[in-house]
Each structure stands twice: as structure tokens, then as C-alpha cells.
């Protein structure tokens, strides 16, 4: 079953920036479609089934408006929304997305302080918290348990 997370980060991040960081470790392909371009990482798992991760830039104005309607949006994110870029990471394999997101967050350096992760289950994680958790426990599953988050 396909799932996704959204990485909310400074507006200076563009698809080519994301592609650059991901291509440092994975073979990234780009598809051009009428609705935009996606970045893809595809591999085969042990059963030979294709596993994938795709990255799509989400319309920033529409996404910001949607987040502004959240009841419990953290104030620091609410104040920054109009200056953010939004990237949807769609995936069908938890292990692959965990590795890719961990590496990506690590590579953005100090911008991690202005980055948020929407887990697609109604929770928003500060980028630093997300990276700390996934680094401390490579099996940490943000979809199932929250470690010390209010």
C-alpha cells in the first residue's frame, strides 16, 4: 500500500536541490509529466518486487493554506509557512524511505532547524527531532510510536 510523508522546508529548496542530495547516494531518475516532475528511486527487494520512493514538489500556496487550517499547528511553523517548500515522499517500503529521509535530513545541515515532517497521520515532527529518533533507532517507525513528543 503506497504511503507518504511531507517534508516542509525553507523555500530555497527546489526539486533540483533535492535531486542533488539524493543522487549522492542513490540512482535517481526524473519523470516529466503534465502535472509536474517526480524524482524516483527504485530498487528490487529480496522477493524481486520493485520497491520505490518518489518525490514530488507540492504546490506551496495550496499546502501552506491547508496547514494554516490545522488546529494545533506549532506557532514557529505557522509563522514560517509562507516561506516554505513542500515535498511529498511517496513510498511502498518503510526501510527504503527511512534510509532516504535520514540521509536527506542529515545532508541539509543547519536547515534542519527550519524543517518539519508531516507523517500523513496527523502529526508534525520538528526535523531535528525526526532525525534524532531515526538516527538513535534505525527501526523507529514514526507511523506507530512517539518517543517523548508532546
Confidence of residue 146 (pLDDT cuts 50, 70, 90): low
Summarize pLDDT for 3-13 with one digit per residue, the tens. Answer: 899 999 999 99
Centre a 10 Å sphere on the Cβ of residue 89 and count the other Cβ atoms it contains: 22
Confidence of residue 15 (pLDDT cuts 50, 70, 90): confident
**CA 57 – CA 125 distance, rounded (Å):** 19
Centre a 10 Å sphere on the Cβ of residue 150 and count the other Cβ atoms it contains: 4
Summarize pLDDT for 50-95 with one digit per residue, the tens. Answer: 788 888 899 999 999 999 988 788 989 988 999 999 999 988 888 8
3-state secondary structure 93-146: CHHHHHHHHHHHHHHCHHHHHHCEEECCCCCEEEHHHHHHHHHHCCCCCCCCCC
- State the average pLDDT for the chain: 85
Instruction: Name, in order, each residue with C-beta under 8 angstroms of 72's C-beta and a sequence gap of 6 or more.
Output: none
pTM of the model: 0.87
Q: Of 106, 135, 19, 10, whose CA–CA distance to 60 is shortest? A: 10
* Residue ranges per structural domain of the chain: 3-136
Neighbouring-strand partners of residue 87: 7, 57
Summarize pLDDT for 119-132 with one digit per residue, the tens. Answer: 988 889 999 999 99
Centre a 10 Å sphere on the Cβ of residue 100 and count the other Cβ atoms it contains: 21
Quick check: 29 pLDDT over 80? yes
- Lookup: cell for 26: 542513490
Amino acid at each position: 500500500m503506497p504511503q507518504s510523508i511531507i517534508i516542509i522546508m525553507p523555500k530555497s529548496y527546489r526539486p533540483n536541490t533535492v535531486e542533488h542530495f539524493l543522487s549522492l547516494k542513490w540512482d535517481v531518475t526524473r519523470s516529466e509529466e503534465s502535472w509536474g516532475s517526480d524524482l524516483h528511486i527504485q530498487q528490487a527487494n529480496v522477493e524481486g518486487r520493485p520497491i520505490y520512493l518518489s518525490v514530488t514538489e507540492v504546490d506551496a500556496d495550496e499546502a501552506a493554506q491547508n496547514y494554516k487550517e490545522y488546529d494545533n499547528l506549532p506557532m514557529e511553523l505557522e509563522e514560517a509557512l509562507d516561506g516554505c517548500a513542500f515535498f511529498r515522499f511517496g513510498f511502498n517500503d518503510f526501510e527504503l524511505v527511512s534510509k532516504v529521509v535520514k540521509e536527506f535530513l542529515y545532508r541539509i545541515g543547519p536547515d534542519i532547524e527550519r524543517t518539519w515532517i508531516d507523517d500523513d497521520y496527523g502529526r508534525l515532527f520538528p526535523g531535528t527531532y525526526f532525525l534524532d529518533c531515526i538516527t538513535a533507532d534505525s527501526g523507529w517507525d514514526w507511523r506507530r510510536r512517539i518517543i517523548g513528543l508532546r
